[in-house]
């Protein structure tokens, strides 16, 4: 629904700070592959960045189709790590390199049944979606430094030390329109990310059905009553938020 832009900068001692934030509604009549959308993106990015130099622009893509896996491999030399990770993931979950982008991060050395192993987070993203995003920014004439997903952004909040007073293990729940996601952060590392095939639409449908069923049971049949619609159920759900007016 919106283009959300965040500007960060790091000090000489590598401490990150938030410099600016802006949210602009997306043009409803402009599909993402249209020239109007490209012009909108270019204009808003230039307005937000102004005359900043040495900017590195990252974009967050949907995490719904990104497969994040946690594996352990034997402790091997640096040049062998990539091969070990690749074949371990390939064995557990075969993927086509032509249709996927594969990457990984070594987290730490751990003990497994008394044997040292390397804990690794690997991820597989759909190449088509990645290429579409890259092409979109290519059309704007603004170079793109990289693409990430929300669970990694949440991980960065903990790694940066911005949230320092917290338990060693934290759960973050995202509730979307059609799907939700739970992320588990342990010792500042993302150790699990799972999609849930239910979101606010599922809640709204359940709420609508329950309210209509209650009205049928407890309302005087002689009194004319209008059934609860999806729109009304949606407004009721939104009002349950602590940020909504009573």
Tokens found for residue 43: 């204009």
Residue with tokens 């990015």: 45
Note the pLDDT of residue 188. 87
Cβ distance 68 to 193 under 8 Å?
A: yes
Query: Mind listing the pLDDT tens digit of every residue in the chain (246 residues)?
Result: 899 999 988 888 878 888 899 999 999 888 888 999 999 999 999 999 887 778 899 999 988 889 998 999 999 988 899 999 999 999 988 899 899 999 999 988 889 989 999 999 999 999 999 999 999 999 999 889 999 999 999 998 888 888 777 778 999 998 888 889 999 998 888 988 888 888 999 999 999 999 999 888 876 777 777 889 999 999 998 888 888 877
**pLDDT score recorded for residue 121:** 92
H helix runs in 54-198, sequence order: 78-92, 127-140, 150-159
In Å, how far from its chain's centre is CA 122?
Answer: 16
Q: What pLDDT was estimated at residue 100? A: 95
At residue 13, the pLDDT reads 83
What is the rounded CA–CA span in Å between residue 117 and residue 89? 15
CA 30 to chain centre: 23
Distance CA 129, CA 132 (A): 5
């Amino acid at each position: 629904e919106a283009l959300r832009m965040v500007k960060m900068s790091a000090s000489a001692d590598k401490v990150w700070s938030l410099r600016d934030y802006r949210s602009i509604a997306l043009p409803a009549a402009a599909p993402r592959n249209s020239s109007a959308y490209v012009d909108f993106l270019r204009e808003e990015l230039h307005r937000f960045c102004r005359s900043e130099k040495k900017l590195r622009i990252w974009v967050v893509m949907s995490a719904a189709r990104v497969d994040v896996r946690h594996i352990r491999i034997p402790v091997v030399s640096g040049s062998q790590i990539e091969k070990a990770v690749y074949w371990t993931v390939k064995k557990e979950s075969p993927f086509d390199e032509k249709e996927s982008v594969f990457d990984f991060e070594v987290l730490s050395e751990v003990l497994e049944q008394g044997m040292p192993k390397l804990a690794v987070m690997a991820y597989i993203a759909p190449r088509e979606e990645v290429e579409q995003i890259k092409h979109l920014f290519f059309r704007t004439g603004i170079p793109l430094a990289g693409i990430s997903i929300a669970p990694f952004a949440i991980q960065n909040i903990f790694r940066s030390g911005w949230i320092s007073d917290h338990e060693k293990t934290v759960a973050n729940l995202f509730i979307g329109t059609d799907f939700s996601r739970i992320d588990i952060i342990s010792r500042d590392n993302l150790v699990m990310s799972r999609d849930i095939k239910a979101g606010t639409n599922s809640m709204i449908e359940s709420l609508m059905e329950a309210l209509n069923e209650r009205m049928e049971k407890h309302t005087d049949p002689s009194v004319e009553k209008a059934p609860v619609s999806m729109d009304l159920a949606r407004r009721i759900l939104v009002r349950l938020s602590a940020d909504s007016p009573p």
